[in-house]
A and B are shown apart, each in its own frame.
Chain A
Amino acid sequence: QQQVKQSPQSLIVQKGGISIINCAYENTAFDYFPWYQQFPGKGPALLIAIRPDVSEKKEGRFTISFNKSAKQFSLHIMDSQPGDSATYFCAANTGNQFYFGTGTSLTVIP
């Protein structure tokens, strides 16, 4: 059973556009929702994270929007750049439970 469902599987955006990746979860016990960024040949690296007591967190061009009632959260990349081309994973954690989404391959076209 997929604990965290992520969409889309792939995304192509023009330079300067907005990239949006969505995730949904079922377990209301999750209390930490990170996004990881992975470049080819590298391990995933934490990009930004949010806890369910806030609805939005922004760090530079990256924003997480969190909807607790809908059990959904999304990553928005503003002014997308070719250097943002990577695979993005959402995740949900609580205690000893760690679940990752299936990943979204983002390509930003110059």
Chain B
Amino acid sequence: DAGVIQSPRHEVTEMGQEVTLRCKPISGHNSLFWYRQTMMRGLELLIYFNNNVPIDDSGMPEDRFSAKMPNASFSTLKIQPSEPRDSAVYFCASSLMGQATYEQYFGPGTRLTVT
């Protein structure tokens, strides 16, 4: 299995531009998570999907952030408009909920820089 796939790996954009991050979870997994990692705030859960349905989006910082999961094999995290404070590494993770463990498998991350 290729693991969780994220694209792009690096994104540099100017303030005000729209940014779309993409994630392909591990085949067969039914849960998907978007995290943001910064030095100041550590690893923060932004939103969590189960069976393609958003379960908890309380971590989404504001309306500029939106996430979708149109099918079991694809999810996007969109920031519009982007701001310099959005600069961070964004991780996608997937899991097979319903098992005895909650192990999450993380992708390699997307490093976003907003200038």
Contacts and interface: CB of A to CB of B under 8 A. Distances in A.
B102 A102 contact: no
Interface in B67-115: 91, 93, 101-109
A27 B83 CA distance: 34
A62 interface: no
A107 to B, nearest CB: 16
Contacts of B105: 45-46
Contact of B106 (A45, A96, A99): A45
A45 B101 CA distance: 14
B35 to A, nearest CB: 8
Main SS at interface, chain A: strand
Interface residues of A, number: 19
Contacts of A93: 102
A99 B45 CA distance: 8
* Interface secondary structure of B, over-half rule: strand
Contacts of A86: none
B2 to A, nearest CB: 13
A102 B42 contact: yes
A96 B43 CA distance: 17
Given A43-B93, A43-B107, A101 B102 contact: no
Interface string A67-110: 00000000000000000000001000100101111110000000
A39 to B, nearest CB: 11
B102 A43 contact: no
A41 B48 CA distance: 23
B103 A44 contact: no
A49 interface: yes
A32 B55 contact: no
A93 B56 CA distance: 14
13 contacts: A32-B102, A42-B109, A43-B107, A43-B108, A45-B105, A45-B106, A89-B43, A96-B55, A98-B48, A99-B45, A101-B42, A103-B42, A103-B43
Q: Which 5 A-B pairs have the closest CB atoms?
A: A43-B106, A102-B42, A93-B102, A100-B43, A46-B103
